[in-house]
């Protein structure tokens, strides 16, 4: 079945450690996104990529980094510079053109900093 | 700047009764509007969207939404609620008039509780 796979589903990190969240899609979508979800705040955009080897900062990119070396993959690294990394992270993809397409989401990764 | 307001943190409705989850938006160009549903510890699932055309949009699981341009609203509705509809619902907007990438802005979500 086509879809988006995020891993791991749960992740625990000690302060000062970098962690990488995986996101893989087999929908042949050009555009991919990372969102952060906190209770009562909705979804906030961290990074997005419209095409391979290109990505742009979203609204809350500080302390995060991404890469887009393959169309299918868009991993997110939460660095030690992110001051409050405990959150639910959602990866999504969509068609790029036209701009009318809905987002397809993965099942999410919950990161907890100990 | 575009924005989405979901004025109710929670909506409670009895099973079998009609439900409405409210959404208003602000965008400079033509709005592309979306509704998503999220079950606990899961990703968001697309329900329906309005791009152009008929103001009443039908979507998955018996949900529908009505686009009202004058009131800048896009309320989600269902004629008869099921207990399994209990979830978190997100409204989202994208500016359809601008070229290139236009980001999607989400509301903060409304928790729907259907009471047996």
Residue-wise pLDDT tens digits, B36-87: 999 998 999 999 999 989 999 999 999 999 999 999 999 999 999 999 999 9
Q: How far apart are CA A73 and CA A49, in angstroms?
A: 10
A103: nearest CB among B51, B101, B104: B104
Instruction: List, for residues A41-61, the tens digit of each pLDDT value.
Output: 889 999 999 999 999 999 999
* CB atoms B103 and A58 under 8 Å: yes
Considering only CB atoms, A107 lies closest to which of B43, B90, B102, namely B43
* Residue A61 Rama label (left phi>0; alpha psi -120 to 50; beta): alpha
If you ran DSSP here, which 8-state letter would residue A16 be given? T
Tokens of A20: 């990488």
Structural contact between residues A72 and A24, judged by C-beta atoms closer than 8 angstroms: yes
Contact A77, A47 (CB under 8 A): no
B93 in helix, strand or coil? strand
For residues B26 and B66, what is the distance between their CA atoms, to the nearest angstrom?
A: 16
Residue B104 has pLDDT above 70, yes or no: yes
Q: For residue B109, which residues of chain A lie inside 8 Å, CB to CB?
A: 42
Query: Using a CB-CB distance cutoff of 8 angstroms, which residues of chain A are in contact with residue B101?
Result: 31, 48, 50, 56, 99
β-pair partners for B45: B37
Q: Is the pLDDT of residue A2 over 80?
A: no
- Identify the pLDDT of residue B99: 60
DSSP strand pairing (A43-51 vs B87-95): unpaired
- Burial label, B115 (beta-carbon count in 10 A; 0-12, 13-18, 19+): exposed
Do B90 and A100 count as a contact with CB atoms less than 8 A apart? no
Mean pLDDT in residue range B15-27: 97
Instruction: Kindly determine whether residue B102 and residue A99, on different chains, have CB atoms separated by under 8 Å.
Output: yes
pLDDT at A1: 65
Return the number of CB contacts < 8 Å for A and B: 54
Q: Is the dihedral of CA B100, B109, A4, A108 positive or negative?
A: positive
Q: What is the pLDDT of residue B98?
A: 62
Percent of chain A surpassing pLDDT 90: 77
């Amino acid at each position: 079945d086509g879809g988006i796979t995020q891993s791991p589903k749960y992740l625990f990190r000690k302060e000062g450690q970098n962690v990488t969240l995986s996101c893989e899609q087999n929908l042949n979508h050009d555009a991919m996104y990372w969102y952060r979800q906190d209770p009562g705040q909705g979804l906030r955009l961290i990074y997005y990529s419209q095409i391979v080897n290109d990505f742009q900062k979203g609204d809350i990119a500080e302390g995060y980094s991404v890469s887009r070396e393959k169309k299918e993959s868009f991993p997110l690294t939460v660095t030690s510079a992110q001051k409050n990394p405990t959150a639910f992270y959602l990866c999504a993809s969509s068609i790029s053109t036209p701009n009318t397409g809905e987002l397809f989401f993965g099942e999410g990764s919950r990161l907890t900093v100990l | 700047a575009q924005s989405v307001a979901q004025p109710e943190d929670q909506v409670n409705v009895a099973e079998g009764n009609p439900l409405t989850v409210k959404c208003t938006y602000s965008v400079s160009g033509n709005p592309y509007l979306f509704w998503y549903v999220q079950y606990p510890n899961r990703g968001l699932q697309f329900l329906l969207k309005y791009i152009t055309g008929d103001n009443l949009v039908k979507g998955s699981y018996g949900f529908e939404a009505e686009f009202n341009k004058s009131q800048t609203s896009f309320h989600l509705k269902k004629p008869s609620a099921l207990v399994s509809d209990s979830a978190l619902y997100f409204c989202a907007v994208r500016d359809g008039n601008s070229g290139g990438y236009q980001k999607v802005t989400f509301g903060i979500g409304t928790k729907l509780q259907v009471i047996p």
